[in-house]
Amino acid sequence: MAVSKSTRTLVPDTSQLIQKIFRNSQVSEERRREWQQAQRHTETSPSSLRFPVYEDLYLFNLSAQQLVDLLQGISGKFGLAREDSLYHEFVIEQVRSAVSCDVVEHMAGVEHTEVWVFESLRRMEEKKLREPDDVYYLAREREEERAKQGLPPLIRFLDGESATGKAKSQK
């Protein structure tokens, strides 16, 4: 049996941050419900996985394959008609694939919501870590790149330096 370890832990106040993101955005009500459903599932699950459904889906598919293998073994040992055996294999595979498809479709919505939520959280953290004046240094660097490429400047700096860093008064 496969055992998974949690690869992601949320800080205690993450849920409040996520609720704030939902309040401050124009995210669809469907996305909000998907997120809440996923949260309820993780809170009641004994597994350490963020989404234990993936582990369950893996075990379900593994069991279906084992069932097909057993059916083939039984058919061979007892000389059952190959057509009957194939029919039963196809029934097992059809059920397996239909269940997998339904689960994956549902989880796609949850994962899309997660991408949006954690991208928003990442941006909030980057904004906290960013030095507000760095934008000016980045603009100067970009202007230097443009000058090296022979492109005209888009910005004039008030400190008297051109994009190449030379003071106008020294020209």
Per-residue model confidence (pLDDT) at position 41? 58
Per-residue model confidence (pLDDT) at position 14? 58
Per-residue model confidence (pLDDT) at position 109? 79
Domain boundaries, the chain: 14-130, 131-171
- State the 10-residue block means of pLDDT for the chain, 171 residues long: 48 63 75 71 51 88 96 91 91 97 86 83 88 89 95 86 50 42
Q: What is the pTM of this model?
A: 0.54
Per-residue model confidence (pLDDT) at position 106? 82
The span from the CA of 126 to the CA of 144, in Å, is 25
Please give the structure tokens belonging to residue 25.
């955005």
DSSP class of residue 152 equals P
Per-residue model confidence (pLDDT) at position 72? 93
125-158: b (≥16 Cβ within 10 Å) or e? eeeeeeeeeeeeeeebeebeeeeeeeeeeeeeee
